[in-house]
Chains A and B, each alone.
Chain A
């Protein structure tokens, strides 16, 4: 295929309402769709066009000449119009634009500006309509095919396109020529044009008075381009124009060819990492070939974060699970790798809107990306700028955001831009731009007095005045009564209420119900939540609200989705609903979501909670918590479980106990034992004698309390809980003395063994051995291989503490035999035991016996991709080889970690491991007489170690090399 290059005319198509058609007419849709494809392909190919991409049902074609593209468009619309469709009538919108584009080596087009413009032109049209840009019009206006004319439909401010674009509509004889106004904003409306509503005459979306801030933001972007990752924090009060400002910046960076990915956060919350999932989805939509370009393990992790994208790729790989910390680290690094990949050719901008509503997981991941894109230790830093917008007044509530902001500021990674209100002069500029005429001083005074320069307030006030008929447009100019009669709404809320109040009653009702769903909502949920359930009526309502510029259709997402144009609109509407009505509305919404999206646990929790349906709220909160936990989003899981506990009725003891234990387990896992212990204690207090006849549950909880305390992060907390620890040990020991042994007895004793040395000063190795020995004996007696393996591990640790290294070897080899049993399916655990067996053999100088275990561990760890583990294994191997004078083999290990360094573009632990390797290599070079290289490597190792540890004083026992 010979794709056109240089000056290319692009023709893009899009089926109007395809999702709805597919959903409503499942039986005939596929046939209709196939016919659509055939008609389009035939028309394009008949006129020498090349289809270079089909995403969903949208075709992207390239032509050598604009005339061919026009003829193809005419044939397409004729073909579709005259097709004998059964019930699924397909109408496509077509956009044509001519611009510069070059073919790259991978046969993709490089020419972002041209491609994005044709995309925007296409999106602005309606089914059956063909739109042309001025560039194409100039090429074809003298050679239009017979029966075809052009209509100048004026200048339009297309989404994300910096300057307004003049557009033309193709008028094809015999086909419809009249369509609704374009799905965009007119840039400037001619006085003669009476088809445009008054609201559309107001020129919106122009950024006023932010030149200095934009310059600062551009400076950050320039640094990003130069390879220094940036984090840009844009704050300000609601309505100040944070999103608008960022969109202006996005428009500018997109024009320079950069990739921009957007994640949005909503007051009503969402699934953990939902904004990240949106960013990933955006990345895959913009660049579908990513699937083939990313390493498999990266893809697997990324798709874990974006389940909706995974659903599209049934064969996508899945990574082996690791321990919590390693798994989260690997997923974060995979995301970093995705960013590095996306920024290879052009820099990348990640935009998180309304970050004050972001979930902790999303913020933590973005902090990781911001840090790593700045870190000088990072080998391949993504050229990336992370932009966060947030409301300062929400920071007290947004604990997670607050922490991230403090971190970013402390580490001097972030640049902060605070948007303030417009002064009077800037308010005048804004009004002048909006009305495209000079603003009178009294009108300016009135508007400024009420709005105090808040841009969104200014805009809403003006719209309210237009809609109320106070501002009128005749004879090419705006008219208004005297200021006394004007009655400017005195608050933003009032302005919004006034505007919504102008809509037909059913539209008001629909919008109010939509505000219960949230800032963004989909048609179906709204329809099913609506008592009347009248589809036509709802469509009319939404069209009215769209015309009133209160909502807008969201493109590029699954289904028919809408968004309020500003977060303050749904907030205002929601606050205006009485609590009784709110509950009912939430219940209707919840039932609709339950029917349409039964896996949307987070929304279901939110709505059933707000509807006071405690049973359902608890049910879905638990499911949401489980999902959050599976994504390592522990803060979100904790939040859901706390909510569930608040809702569970006091008489549902068993459920309450389950929730308490689940919550405490998560808190303990993240070393928040201080919070976990009282929950376990509450659980015990709720246990009746009948509930736990063998005391198995109590013993388990005593063990968990001991575990939670001994793993607390702060020494003072451990001391504070010392008496609780002792009490639980004594009680637990009494319980096991009086009961026949079971699995929990072994676990309890194993825990006591670990507690005897972990964080104890001095460590009580004798007790550690005593408890572990008892645990081993019991496990043998009960024939419990898993518990035996754990108990042996505890005993091995105690032997290590007692200096019984030879005896330790025997234990580890025994453990190794146990985990070779096919019932132990956990590869990571197996690798861990192999590594430990190798390490203890090295400890006593049994190098030849150690190596096979270490090599096997390495092989298994390569499958699980546990970097921590792998680096540990390589380190022990290096040690072995160095001490046995196998210098050539040692250099092979160097090659391995250098390969890892390339594969994982990161990361402190790798630096640490490489430091050890560099030091050993330095020694080998010295022994071989290459003193210059030895000196260089030695210095490198020393600097790496000091760089990691901070001071030379810490260059101690661990770092003897």
Chain B
């Protein structure tokens, strides 16, 4: 999905919140809203949706959504420059994604960890995260993410 369209996604998801459906629950919607906000790097939306996503995911012990919520929380910290909290949350997310073997999500989380390390000028750590993210993206054939990671590594 093109990056610029996450706003549109968010719009539809917010409409969806006011509708009822048997097979789409609020936990699904908040997880997606939080993730859409993360992809847009929208700090306000992250602050709004990430806690709700976390609350709903925990309520149902939904591992994938818990991981998504952790990552969204981590990015909220990241955007606020609170790197240590960001890394903590991102690592929690990574651990859950690893347990689920969701390789693309692992790549995305490693990328954000690389961002957190780079934000703290820890280029070695950042390179390590980016390299592992790149491996995941390349294994999945996720070319735009791989290209984005290459760019980040180039400027380290």
Contacts and interface: CB of A to CB of B under 8 A. Distances in A.
Same complex origin of A and B? yes
Given A844-B61, A884-B100, A927-B140, A958 B1 contact: no
Given A884-B102, A885-B140, A887-B140, A931 B2 contact: yes
A374 to B, nearest CB: 31
Nearest to A929: B143
A573 B107 CA distance: 87
B1 A934 contact: yes
B34 interface: no
B24 A957 contact: yes
B14 to A, nearest CB: 10
A957 B61 contact: no
Given A845-B62, A883-B64, A931-B2, A956 B144 contact: no
B12 A955 contact: yes
B1 A805 contact: no
A923 interface: yes
Contacts of B62: 844-845
B29 A957 contact: yes
Nearest to A875: B23
B13 A960 contact: yes
A885 B103 contact: yes
A927 B144 contact: yes
A785 interface: no
A42 to B, nearest CB: 71
Nearest to A883: B64
Contacts of B128: none
Contacts of A927: 1, 104, 140, 142, 144-145
B65 interface: yes
Contact of A956 (B12, B59, B63, B104): B12
Nearest to A923: B1
B67 to A, nearest CB: 9
A839 interface: yes
A929 B64 CA distance: 24
A926 B19 contact: no
Contact of B60 (A805, A929, A931): A805
A929 B61 CA distance: 33
Contacts of A957: 15-21, 24, 29
B65 to A, nearest CB: 6
B32 interface: yes
B105 A885 contact: yes
Interface string B1-44: 11000000000110111111111110011001000000000000
Contacts of A839: 23
Interface string A720-763: 00000000000000000000000000000000000000000000
B65 A845 contact: yes
B104 A806 contact: no
A71 B92 CA distance: 96
Contacts, number: 88
B141 interface: yes
A957 B101 CA distance: 28
A922 B64 CA distance: 22
B111 to A, nearest CB: 13
A127 interface: no
Interface string B122-152: 0000000000000000001111110100000
A922 B59 CA distance: 31
B1 A845 contact: no
Given A957-B20, A957-B21, A958-B19, A845 B64 contact: yes
A931 B2 CA distance: 8
Contact of B16 (A806, A847, A883, A956): A956
Contacts of B17: 957
B61 A806 contact: yes
A154 interface: no
Given A884-B100, A884-B101, A927-B140, A845 B60 contact: yes
Interface string A861-891: 0000000000000001000000111010000
Contacts of A844: 60-62
A323 B20 CA distance: 25
A931 B18 CA distance: 31
Classify chain B: how many residues form its interface, as a range.
Answer: 35 or more
Contacts of A887: 104, 140-141
B2 A843 contact: no
Interface string A127-168: 000000000000000000000000000000000000000000
A928 interface: yes
A928 B141 contact: yes
Nearest to B66: A845
Contacts of B18: 957
Contacts of A934: 1-2
A958 B24 contact: yes
A847 B100 CA distance: 9
Given A885-B140, A956-B12, A960-B24, A843 B104 contact: no
A959 B9 CA distance: 11
Nearest to A934: B1
A845 B63 contact: yes
A803 interface: yes
A707 B30 CA distance: 36
B142 to A, nearest CB: 5
A847 B65 CA distance: 12
Contact of B144 (A803, A843, A929): A929
A317 interface: no
Contacts of A805: 25, 60
A923 B104 CA distance: 13
Which of A885, A922, A923, A927 has the most chain B CB atoms inside 10 A of its CB?
A885
B19 A956 contact: yes
Contacts of A935: 2
B143 A958 contact: no
Nearest to B106: A885
A800 interface: yes
Interface string A933-955: 01100100000000000000001
Contacts of B12: 955-956, 959-960
A926 B15 contact: no
Contacts of B101: 884
A960 B2 contact: no
Contacts of A843: 23, 25, 60
A233 to B, nearest CB: 41
Contact of A960 (B29, B65, B142, B145): B29
Nearest to B103: A885
A350 B99 CA distance: 61
A956 B16 CA distance: 5
Contact of B1 (A847, A926, A959): A926
A470 to B, nearest CB: 78
Contacts of A926: 1-2, 144
A956 B15 contact: yes
B98 to A, nearest CB: 12
A884 B65 CA distance: 11
A196 B101 CA distance: 92
Interface in A685-721: none
A938 B4 CA distance: 14
Interface in B45-76: 59-65
A803 B62 CA distance: 13
Interface string B84-105: 0000000000000000111111
Contacts of A931: 2
17 contacts: A800-B22, A803-B59, A806-B61, A843-B25, A845-B60, A845-B62, A884-B101, A885-B103, A887-B141, A923-B1, A927-B104, A928-B143, A957-B29, A959-B12, A959-B16, A960-B24, A960-B29
Given A845-B61, A958-B19, 17 more contacts: A844-B61, A883-B64, A884-B64, A884-B101, A885-B105, A887-B104, A887-B140, A923-B1, A926-B2, A927-B145, A931-B2, A934-B1, A956-B19, A957-B17, A957-B18, A959-B16, A960-B28
9 nearest CB pairs, A to B = A929-B143, A957-B16, A957-B19, A845-B62, A885-B104, A885-B102, A926-B1, A845-B64, A956-B19
